[in-house]
Amino acid sequence: MSTMDTLISHEASIRIWAFLSVFAILAAWEMVAPRRALLTSKARRWLANLGILIVNGALVRAIFPAAAVGIAMVADQRSIGLLHFLELPMPLKIILAIIALDLAIYLQHVMFHAVPLLWRLHRVHHADLDFDVTTGTRFHPIEILLSMVIKMAAIFLIGAPVLAVLIFEIVLNLTSMFNHSNIRIPKSADGLLRLFIVTPDMHRVHHSIEPAETNSNFGFNLPWWDRLFGTYRPEPAAGHELMTIGIEQFRTKEDQRLDRMLLMPFRDNANSYSINRRVAIR
């Protein structure tokens, strides 16, 4: 069995161990050097946020047992996608595929803010009243399934190599925890890091209650897309310590329960956060 075959056969185990290792490191970092004081019960939030993660994981494996890596294998076997028509070294194809997949995730994120029906799903993520490592795992199951369909389409269109998809899936999972973590990073280090990766201070702006800030900093891995498409905002107007996290709806303790989170897309109105909506910061 080749190294590639070994990686693919152990894909689930690799992802789980990578998740647990990085989660433990970030959770410990949050305890030692938190960026903000949490306003709500950590135990209650973690129970709900990690609970929805478990629901999502089981659902994806049940509906898409091959997941993204399996789709990449099909595309590779049938030579589907742009990169199959380009005579490029495999390392370069892998790099280009990872960058292209990251752009697809950025555009998908913008779309989930711009379309009211999709915002209904995505606001489950934004309705968290605090911002820590578990916020990066908090997505409605229907959003996760739609995201998987979009990702599969992107893989076919790009012709992403199997190894590129495996790397991207692991990195996306880990960076989602990192850029949602409540960790303190020196400002000089943060300024350097955000040239290459989305940092917690950069992404936290996106979780502000202010619509103009909610509609900024959509990137998950690479920070370049926000600068390229004009959605970059360096800091929240109120500062990181004083900014209000969440959305105007669903601000009670009961709203943070797992059952209420699962029903959230079907409650209240959509209150669209369209990317074209320009709202002055109060």
pLDDT in tens, 216-269: 999 989 999 999 999 999 999 999 999 999 999 899 989 999 999 999 999 877
Pair 31, 116: CB distance under 8 Å: no
How far apart CA 265 and CA 123 sit, in angstroms, is 8
Pair 93, 161: CB distance under 8 Å: yes
Q: Which of 180, 174, 225, 222 is nearest to 203 (CA)?
A: 180
Which distant-in-sequence residues (6+ apart) come within 8 Å of 50 by Cβ?
134, 137
pLDDT in the model for residue 271: 58
Q: Which residues pair with 208 in a beta bridge?
A: 245
How far apart CA 71 and CA 208 sit, in angstroms, is 36
Lowest mean pLDDT, pick from 40-54, 63-77, 173-187: 63-77
| Residue 153, SS3 per DSSP | helix
pLDDT in tens, 162-203: 999 999 999 999 999 999 999 999 999 999 999 999 999 999
Distances (CA, A) of 24 to 11, 50, 166: 20, 13, 22
Q: How many CB atoms lie within 10 A of CB 29?
A: 18
